[in-house]
Chain A
Amino acid sequence: MLGYIVKRLISLAISLIVASVVIFVVVEIAPGDPASFMLGINAQPDTVAALRTELGLDQSKFDRYLSWVGGMLTGDFGTSYTYRTPVAQMIVDRMWVSLPLALFALTLSTLIAFPAGIFAAARRGGPGDLAVTGATQLGVAIPNFWFAMMLVLIFAIQLRWFSAGGFPGWEKGFWGGMKALTLPAIALALPQAAILTRVMRSSLLDILGEDFMRTARAKGLSARQALWRHGLRNALIPVLTIIGLQFAFLLAGAIIIEQVFFLPGLGRLIFQAITQRDLIVVESVVMLLVFAVIMVNFLVDLAYAAVDPRLRTRV
């Protein structure tokens, strides 16, 4: 087990180093000089040069990479070119919206997908299964921004249960914040729940055909007992993989939903930073997201080992 964790940790570190190099190089290749962009097209060349020096853009690329990585390791993410505020503070502020939103959506999607997937698998080919599979088709097909607008129309404009957008901040109380995140989380969770339901269903169906399920029935377990005691845990591995991928996607990929609901999240931050050539913000946020994805994968790997004893001994 220890060997397994050490091996995963080494692979985690290597992934992070490779990712940081790739992110740095890609952002450097992107056209547009931040200094000229900030000063506008009429700026004098010496003013631009002075700003470049001030921003550190005149140093060699290697030095700039080292100082960027070194800064991040000490919690200094640099200063935004456009807002002139520390990037770390900007990210922390946005995280307070994006992270709860992602967790909220993931919880919803898991709470929907597990029962729905198990329900459908246990009734393979029956009307219940057809209804669930049909609903998941719809869930995958509906664009989530359209679904989000429908939610706003119904629950915010017609029924006035929720506000149509914006985020009051957690200072005004936990429930106020949760209320503002509810509609966006539902909009985000719907397609994820549909995908996860399908994975849960097909994974369980695979397991139900296994020999050991028949052994369980031969011991005297009912079909339902066999499914819960022997089927579920074995079916969990592919489901965990998808949950890991979905969390990463929800953290970074909520740009459109954040736009629809005017939420100050990470997605909007990175979108604005790109349009303003705020390289240091782009680099830092992307690196942070990569870090989050890799960490989630690491946790998923640990979860695999917890579920499946065969992985603990295989080094």
Chain B
Amino acid sequence: MSLLSIETLSLAIHGTPILKGISLEIAEGEITALTGESGSGKSMTAFATMGLLPKGVTTTGAITFDGENLLSLPEPQMCDLRGREIGMVFQEPMTALNPVQTIGAQVMETILIHKAMAPDRAEKRAREVLGRVGLPPDRFPLSRYPHELSGGQRQRVIIAMAIALRPRLLIADEPTTALDVTTQAQILDLLKRLVKEDGMALMMITHDLAVVSDMAHTLNVMRQGEIVEAGPTSEVLREMRHPYTRQLFEASRHQADLGAARAAAPLLSVRNVSRDYPLPRTSLFGARPMFQAVKNVSFDIKRGERVGLVGESGCGKSTLTRAILGLEPTQGGQITLDGDPVWQDGHANLTVRRKMQVVFQDPYGSFNPRHRVARLITEPFHLLPDPPKGAARDTAIAKALSAVGLKPEDADRHIHAFSGGQRQRIAIARALIIKPDLIVFDEAVSALDVRVRAQILDLMADLSRAYGLTYLFISHDLSVVRSITDRVMVMRAGEIVEDRATAEIYAAPDHPYTRELMNAAPQLPDFPEAQDAPHPAL
């Protein structure tokens, strides 16, 4: 008999249906994955199981855990169950811990709130369990605060809190989405080990098929509140009976058609560039220690080339990007675009600035919500000495919007009327409107669902082919970079450790760090059907 069984669970928020009669079973010692795009209802399924649904939610159906229907269990008994029998791990480790309490206090709280042991034994258990998740007490004493730990370490603390009382079911909601690939691999290994050692059931929620493809026993593919396909993972991935599963699968390994590589004169030239940051003072009067975020980096990007810059958080790629965009001065070396320096006489060189544009990661935060699209996408016009006005301006707006697959009429709408993918199109239109030579994409597709991401990657490739645009594509995601670049640079600790053609680097990575990154990145299994997909020449 299974530990958790969800039967025809339906859920509505203020009358809007979110889940439409889903059913699934999880047995002890088994990993069950729920996958699907944002809004498919996978997190709601988790919160329904935890009894932590927001106000205004109505449910029908049943969630049976160990013979009891959780949906009809009174709140005090739910409280008793949470943390003791069912643990949960969340997506955002940076904010999921209380910043003003020590990690020891927070791990011990799980034990003490259930009065499972006396305080002194609880403290001992907290040390044990932190050690089990890879935070040995000699290096990570209980008195540490969350802000003294990295994202991966914080996620380990959250896992320690969730498993402190050895729950029978662990729910992990996108536990590695916010983490770097190497950290992600470690956390996934840890979860697998805990399931194996404790015989715990794990409900794993993720939008990333590759993450669960080699760890989940069963796979449930969700779309719009329904489970469209379910079964043993290898079977689901091999047969892909539902077209949506196939779409998800293909979108995750989507390869944009870049056209032939074009080698021409260098456009961007970065020569021996260094960037230093002052660290907090260690003594009151001594010189401030410096942190070198970018160390003597040199490379060229040729006109029309699509170059990727890959590295984990903290490797210096964002710092380097800001220097290239002329947003900050460098402490050594020079960056030139078309022969002109991007930074001159203590400020950004405007004649160069208008030749480059940037598209950022967050499609929600990077627009002023009070302005209309027309005003948003014409913002770069302030860089021009003589910006187009009147009819010329309207034509430019219409052309830019058409180029990214939107309608000229969209110019009069506000940004809230658009979805995440459409917003990213508008961000690209904003970059295109002054006809730049170089566009920098800073994690520009990281926040998008796989199918939308595939569409945006196609759009980028189309635009590059049509206008001969040069791209610098910055990402932590190796598979995305592979699909949209001619050449990849791998950055680590402020240095570029490998810089080669995309096809070569993915076929045979040279540097040990590149290999480490590639091995850590979750891979989708290869199936004969999938290899029939068009594979353009790079």
Contacts and interface: CB of A to CB of B under 8 A. Distances in A.
- Real binding pair: yes
Interface of A: 3, 6, 210-212, 214-222, 225, 229-230, 233-234, 307-310, 313-315
B52 A211 contact: no
Interface string B456-474: 0000000000000000000
Given A3-B284, A309-B147, A315-B280, A218 B99 contact: no
A220 B114 contact: yes
Closest 5 CB pairs of A and B: A220-B83, A219-B83, A211-B95, A218-B88, A220-B82
A233 B158 CA distance: 20
B95 to A, nearest CB: 4
Contacts of B87: 218
B519 interface: no
Contacts of B158: 215
Interface of B: 50, 52, 75-76, 79-84, 87-88, 90, 92, 95-101, 109-110, 113-114, 145, 147-148, 158, 161-162, 280-281, 284
Contact of A310 (B75, B82, B84, B147): B147
Contacts, number: 81
Contact of A215 (B76, B90, B100): B90
Contacts of B109: 216, 219, 221, 229
B110 A220 contact: yes
Given A217-B82, A220-B113, A309-B99, A314 B280 contact: yes
A211 to B, nearest CB: 4
Given A219-B113, A221-B79, 19 more contacts: A211-B95, A211-B96, A212-B96, A212-B97, A215-B158, A216-B109, A218-B83, A218-B90, A219-B83, A219-B161, A220-B80, A220-B110, A221-B83, A221-B113, A222-B75, A229-B109, A307-B100, A309-B100, A315-B280
Contact of B99 (A217, A219, A308, A313): A308
28 contacts: A3-B281, A212-B95, A212-B98, A212-B99, A214-B52, A214-B96, A215-B158, A215-B161, A218-B50, A218-B88, A218-B162, A219-B161, A220-B80, A220-B113, A222-B75, A225-B113, A233-B100, A307-B100, A308-B99, A308-B100, A309-B99, A309-B100, A309-B145, A310-B99, A310-B145, A313-B147, A313-B148, A315-B281
B206 to A, nearest CB: 18
Nearest to A213: B98
Contact of A230 (B81, B98, B148, B281): B98
B100 A218 contact: no
A208 B162 CA distance: 20
Given A3-B284, A211-B90, A218 B82 contact: yes
Contacts of A309: 99-100, 145, 147
Nearest to B80: A220
A307 B79 CA distance: 28
Nearest to A231: B98
Nearest to A7: B284
Contacts of B88: 218
A221 B108 CA distance: 13
Contacts of B75: 222
Contacts of A308: 99-100
Contacts of B281: 3, 315
A308 B147 CA distance: 11
A3 B286 CA distance: 13
Contacts of A313: 147-148
A210 B95 contact: yes
Nearest to B281: A315
